[in-house]
């Protein structure tokens, strides 16, 4: 997924350096753009929905990606956007009033690097954060196991919500048309609902399977806050069980994870039910997928068709984002 960090799509070999160049370029362009602002026709141009790629004559051979021609920023907050830009600029748009034009120039070191970058940009252009968050939410809801925490996505959505909250406040103060304010408010509430629901469904899963999660690799799927929550929660649970029941049982039966001291492994830990079946849709053709361990039954997933499959057989595809749960 594209959520390892704000700048991860830049060539993985030299991330730090690329990042610097990138931000520098961006800052320079931003400054130029702010100056040029007045000269540019502020009419939104919806025709240029795809990124235009042009080879400059500069000997460094830069790849210029004009994002929709209309990636707009409030000049007051553009610094924040520079930080968030690689992933957010495409979805968070202007804030009424102050508008600045941006053209983002990407220094491209190697062909391979630029390929990754452009691919990522194209897929990003097609999907806004809110769409990504919606997909993450659906997957999380339908998935019996806890998925990897979408740290960067949550962070971005949070900042967008924060900014929108400020904007709505400003609108209210400056006496905007109540209709417009209420529309912005609704949009904000929809985004907030998605984010809250996403976080809550994860908490629910953590509460249900906390011991199992803390013993397995799933622990790394949690955010730091969730890890804190999980360890505190299991500690409280253990203390409570000890006090209420376990300490009154004969010795040998006092563990909260083993039925008795004779059990060789923890046999009282609830686990997510991975043998369950899920409804899913594939985004692209994945070829034949084995349906059981012996691999004698296979299924060909056709893009956008709906299937009911055993979760275990498509788990890796869900985790890599190739298959969406419905």
Partner 1 sequence: MAGQSDPKLSIFSAAEMEFLAEDEMVEIVPNMRMEPLNLISGDYGPFRPQIPASVPYWLAVALKKRGKCTIRPPEWMSVETLTRILEAERDSPREFQPLPFHYVEISKLLFDHARDDIPDIYMVRSLIEDIRDVRFHKVETGLETISARTHAVKLKNLSAMEVNIVRPFVVRTLQAFYKHDSPEMIQQPSVTSNRRLPATDRGPRRDLRQR
Residues 104-143 that bind partner 1 (CB under 8 A): 128-130, 134, 138, 141-142
Residue 226 and residue 106: Cα distance in Å, rounded?
A: 36
- Tokens matching residue 162: 């924060």
Q: Binding partner 1 by CB under 8 A: which of 96, 181, 233, 257?
A: 96
For residue 51, the 8-state DSSP code is P
- Residue 175 binds partner 1 (CB under 8 A): no
Q: Applying CB under 8 A, which part among 118-126, 146-154, 243-251, 270-278 lies near partner 1?
A: 270-278
Phi, psi (deg, nearest 5) at residue 103: -125, 130
- Our finding on whether 27 is near partner 1 (CB under 8 A) is no
Q: What share of the chain is helix, strand, coil (3-state, %, to 5)?
A: 50, 10, 35
State the nearest-atom distance from the C-beta of 59 to partner 1, in Å. 37
Candidates 10, 84, 85, 191: give the one binding partner 1 (CB under 8 A).
191
Closer CB to partner 1, residue 28 or residue 186?
Answer: 186
Q: Which residue has the tokens 């994002």?
A: 67
CB closer to partner 1, 195 vs 218:
195
Q: How far is the CB of 39 from partner 1 (least distance, A)?
A: 21
If binding is defined by CB under 8 A, does position 288 make contact with partner 1?
A: no
Distance CA 146, CA 139 (A): 10
**Whether 111 contacts 63, CB under 8 Å:** no
First-to-last C-alpha distance (Å) of the chain: 18
Long-range CB contacts for residues 264-271, cutoff 8 Å, separation at least 24: 266/211, 266/215, 269/211, 269/212, 269/215, 270/208, 270/209, 270/211, 270/212, 271/209, 271/212
The yes or no reply on residue 169 touching partner 1 (CB under 8 A) is no
Footprint of partner 1 on 36-65 (CB under 8 A): 44
Tell me how far the alpha carbon of residue 8 is from its chain's centroid: 13
Q: How far apart are CA 229 and CA 160, in angstroms?
A: 25
Q: Which of 170, 159, 154 is nearest to 81 (CA)?
A: 159
Which member of 307, 315, 319, 322 binds partner 1 (CB under 8 A)?
307
Q: Which one, of 141, 143, 123, lies nearest residue 316 by Cα?
A: 143
Least separation in angstroms between CB 180 and partner 1: 7
Q: Give the tokens for residue 91.
A: 């979805």
Is residue 199 at the binding interface for partner 1, with CB under 8 A as the rule?
no
Instruction: Kindly state the smallest distance separating residue 66's Cβ from partner 1, in Å.
Output: 16
Of the candidate spans 22-30, 50-58, 244-252, 291-299, the one that interacts with partner 1 by CB under 8 A turns out to be 291-299
Residues at the interface with partner 1 (CB under 8 A): 44, 72, 91-96, 128-130, 134, 138, 141-142, 144, 160-161, 164, 177, 179-180, 182-184, 186-188, 190-191, 193, 197, 273, 275-279, 291-294, 297, 299, 305-310, 326
């Amino acid at each position: 997924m594209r959520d390892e960090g704000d700048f991860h799509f830049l060539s993985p070999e030299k991330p730090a350096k690329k990042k610097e160049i990138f931000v520098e370029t961006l800052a320079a362009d931003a400054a130029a753009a702010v100056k040029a602002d007045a000269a540019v026709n502020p009419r939104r141009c919806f025709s240029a929905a795809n990124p235009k790629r042009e080879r400059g004559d500069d000997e460094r051979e830069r790849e210029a990606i004009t994002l929709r021609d209309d990636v707009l920023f409030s000049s007051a907050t553009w610094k924040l956007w520079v930080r968030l830009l690689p992933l957010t600029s495409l979805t968070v748009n202007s804030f009424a009033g102050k508008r600045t034009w941006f053209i983002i120039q990407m220094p491209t070191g190697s062909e391979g690097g630029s390929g990754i970058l452009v691919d990522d940009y194209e897929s990003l252009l097609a999907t806004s954060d809110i769409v990504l968050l919606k997909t993450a939410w659906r997957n999380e809801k339908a998935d019996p196991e806890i998925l990897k925490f979408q740290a960067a996505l949550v962070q971005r959505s949070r900042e967008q919500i924060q900014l929108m909250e400020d904007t709505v406040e400003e609108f209210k103060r400056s006496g905007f048309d109540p209709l417009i304010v209420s529309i912005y408010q609704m949009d904000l509430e929809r985004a907030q609902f998605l984010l809250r629901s996403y976080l809550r469904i994860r908490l629910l899963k953590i509460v249900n399977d906390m011991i199992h999660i803390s013993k397995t690799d799933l622990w790394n799927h949690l955010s730091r806050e969730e890890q804190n929550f999980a360890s505190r929660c299991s500690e409280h649970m253990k203390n409570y069980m000890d006090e209420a029941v376990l300490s009154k049982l004969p010795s040998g039966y006092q563990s909260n994870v083993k039925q008795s001291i004779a059990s060789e492994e923890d046999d009282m830990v609830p686990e997510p039910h991975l043998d369950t079946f899920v409804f899913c849709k594939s985004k692209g053709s994945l070829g034949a997928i084995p349906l059981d361990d012996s691999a004698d039954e296979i299924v060909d997933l056709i893009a956008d068709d709906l299937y009911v499959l055993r979760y275990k057989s498509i788990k890796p595809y869900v985790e890599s984002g190739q298959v969406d749960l419905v």
